[in-house]
Amino acid sequence: MVDLSQYLPILLFLGVALALSSTFVFLPMLVARLTGTDKPNEQKLSEYECGFPAFEDPRSQFDVRFYLIAILFIIFDLEAAFLYPWAVSVFSIGWTAWISMMIFIGELALGLVYAWKKGALDWE
């Protein structure tokens, strides 16, 4: 006979997780329905921060510059993520690490110059 009592903590953990996640999902919907804040009106459906209408054709195309700026941000954010650990350990690694990082930064600088010349950073 298999002793199933050893699975009781897992079952309790799953029960608590299910109860908490259900509370976080359904309690705000219940409060919104009870307080009347779920009824949309023209002011609630107006443009807020992005300037685009809240509900329109979901297949509308965005300008490619949105994606280009996002990709450039990710590239230079990753540069910072690689640069910090390198700067902490550069003296213990040696000249090979310094030269390879200078090549990396040079490539990124060339990419920035290319994007700048192509007008990817200009916003109209």
> What pLDDT score does 19 carry?
97
> What pLDDT score does 25 carry?
95
Torsion-angle region of residue 3: left (phi > 0), alpha (psi -120 to 50) or beta? beta
Spatial distance between the Cα atoms of 40 and 84, rounded to a whole number of angstroms: 47
What is the CATH number assigned to the segment(s) 61-124?
Answer: 1.20.58.1610
Domain spans of the chain, in order of start: 1-56, 61-124
96 within 8 A of 104, measured Cβ to Cβ? no
- pTM value is 0.45
Task: Work out the pLDDT band at 58, boundaries 50, 70, 90.
Answer: low
Q: State both tokens at 42.
A: 């023209």
> Which stretches within the chain are classed as H helix?
8-35, 64-93, 95-118
Spatial distance between the Cα atoms of 90 and 85, rounded to a whole number of angstroms: 8
Give ∠ CA 79-82-83 in degrees, rounded to 5: 80
Q: State both tokens at 26.
A: 């359904």
The total number of residues shown for the chain amounts to: 124
> What pLDDT score does 2 carry?
77
> What pLDDT score does 45 carry?
66
